[in-house]
Amino acid sequence: MRGRIGAGEAVGYWITQLVAGVLAALVMGVVVAPGQTATLTLSGHALGAAFVVELLFTFALCYVVLNVATSKAHRTNSFYGLAIGFTVLAGAVAVGGISGGAFNPAVVLGGAIMGLFPGRR
């Protein structure tokens, strides 16, 4: 969005995020005992609502990251983590009960691998 990286580097970041989501799911499969997680079942209106709130809060998170972590005007500001963290916290509190609060496609991929979403039959 800011034009600081090329398309090839962006694709590399996307691939890295997705691989990290898969690895996290595999690690959680070893760490968390089966049966200690609950699936998130969404259908109908709830599925549409989950999509909309995930879209909105993912946009909000990206917007905050772009404006605090990549700003040339505030290079010495050490509060980037707070701004990003509180954006995630606000999203989790506001819509965590609706969508689970992933706000990242790699997290959703990891959750799908872990079986947190019911499969179609």
The percentage of residues in the chain with a pLDDT greater than 90, rounded to a whole number, is 22
Asked if residue 2 is part of any domain, the answer here is: no
Asked if residue 104 is part of any domain, the answer here is yes
Of 92, 67, 68, which is closest to residue 81 (Cα–Cα)?
68
Q: What is the 3-state secondary structure (H, E, C) of 23-69?
A: HHHHHHHHHCCCCCCCCCCCCCHHHHHHHHHHHHHHHHHHHHHHHHC
Is residue 30 domain-resident?
Answer: yes
In a domain, 62, yes or no: yes
Residue 63 lies in a domain: yes
Rounded Cα–Cα distance for residues 111 and 10 (Å): 23
Q: Domain range holding 77?
A: 7-114
Quick check: 46 pLDDT over 60? yes
Average pLDDT over residues 58-69: 88
**Res. 101: pLDDT tops 70:** yes
Structural domains counted in the chain = 1
What's residue 15's pLDDT? 93
Is position 79 within any domain? yes
User: How far apart (Å, rounded) are the C-alpha atoms in residues 47 and 43?
Assistant: 5
User: Nearest 5°: phi and psi at 27?
Assistant: -65, -45
- Minimum mean pLDDT among 3-12, 34-43, 102-111: which range? 34-43
Residue 45 lies in a domain: yes
Answer whether residue 120 is part of any domain.
Answer: no
Q: Is the pTM of this model over 0.85?
A: no
